[in-house]
Structure 1
Amino acid sequence: MDIVAIIAVSSIVVSGLTIALGSIGPALGEAKAVSQALSAIAQQPDEANTITRTLFVGLAMIESIAIYCFVVSLILIFANPFWNFAINHAGK
């Protein structure tokens, strides 16, 4: 197996692991946030609008972590910085 194939396979595997492992934390964080928000709304129904607004801002912040993992995996697949090295090394 030449170096180009090794970089291609490792890029695909690492990008898959990035998405898989990088989505576990945000999923657990979002579940915990929604659970706590529902509990708070059940205890104080008058503050439901404020709690909901704060919940959505927090969920957007939590979801940004998963989006960062997605961006990293796309960079590994489509704009891998090691491709130039591999192509130059394979040409020698």
Structure 2
Amino acid sequence: MIKSEIIVALAGMAFSLIFLAILMSNRSKIRQAKIIKGESERYERLASEAVEVQREILQKQKQLAKDLAEMKERLASIEKILKEVE
């Protein structure tokens, strides 16, 4: 009778250890999934911000090109006036 009780106790312990191992494995996988999701969201936010900054830079470059063209026109006008004065 004592041997059967020991066997049942050992089987219970083995079952408990297997159950705990499976539980910890699942928790680890869930934690990894949360970390990956958080990183993914962070990268998406970063990419979105980068796209917005690129749009702003493009807009400023267009404005600079427009201003430069206007300055060239003014300079040409000034050169023309100076040639007429000579």
Query: Taking structure 1 as the reference length, what is the TM-score of the superposition?
Result: 0.43
Query: Taking structure 2 as the reference length, what is the TM-score of the superposition?
Result: 0.46
Rg larger for = 2
More helix by share: 2
